[in-house]
Amino acid sequence: MTTPLRVLVHGGGIGGLTLATALARRGHHVDVAELREQPEALGVGIIQPSNALHVMREIGVLDDCLAAGFEWEVLTICDPAGATLAKIPQPRMGDAPSNNGIPRPALARVLADAAAKAGATVRFGTTIDTLREDADGVEVTLTDGHGARYDLVVGFDGIGSPLRRRLYGEKYLPEYTGFANWRVTLPRSPEVRGVVMSSGNLSAKALLTPISAEQMYLGSVFAEAEDFRPDPERAHEQLRERLAGFGGPIAEALAQITDPDAVVYSRISQVTVEEPWHVGRIVLAGDAAHASTPHLAQGAAMAVEDALVLALSLDAADTVPAALTAWEERRRPRAMWVQALSRAVLKQETGTATTPEEDELLKVGIPGAAHVLVRPY
- How is the chain split into domains, by residue range? 6-46+103-173+270-373
Distance of alpha carbon 252 from alpha carbon 214, whole angstroms: 16
Q: For CA atoms 8, 12, 14, 20, give the dihedral sign.
A: positive
- What's the pLDDT score for residue 247? 94
* Backbone phi, psi, residue 253, to 5°: -65, -45
Q: What element of type H or E holds 32? A: strand 29-34
- Cβ distance 188 to 215 under 8 Å? yes
Distance of alpha carbon 169 from alpha carbon 10, whole angstroms: 17
CA distances from 39 to 265, 268, 273, 316 (A): 22, 24, 28, 31
- What's the pLDDT score for residue 23? 98
Task: List beta partners, residue 134.
Answer: 137
Contacts of 313 (CB under 8 A, 6+ apart): 323, 324, 326, 327, 330
Distance of alpha carbon 355 from alpha carbon 369, whole angstroms: 19
- What's the pLDDT score for residue 203? 65
Q: What is the pTM of this model?
A: 0.96
CATH number of 6-46+103-173+270-373: 3.50.50.60
Give me the helices (H) in the chain, please.
14-25, 50-58, 62-68, 104-118, 162-168, 235-242, 248-255, 287-290, 299-316, 320-349, 356-362, 365-373
Q: What is the mean pLDDT of each run of 10 residues along the chain (377 residues)?
A: 93 97 98 89 88 98 98 95 95 95 96 97 97 95 97 98 97 94 96 92 83 97 93 97 93 96 96 96 98 95 98 97 97 97 89 93 93 94
Strand, coil or helix: what is 360? Answer: helix
Dihedral over alpha carbons 130, 134, 138, 139 (to 10 degrees) = -50
* Backbone phi, psi, residue 231, to 5°: -70, 120
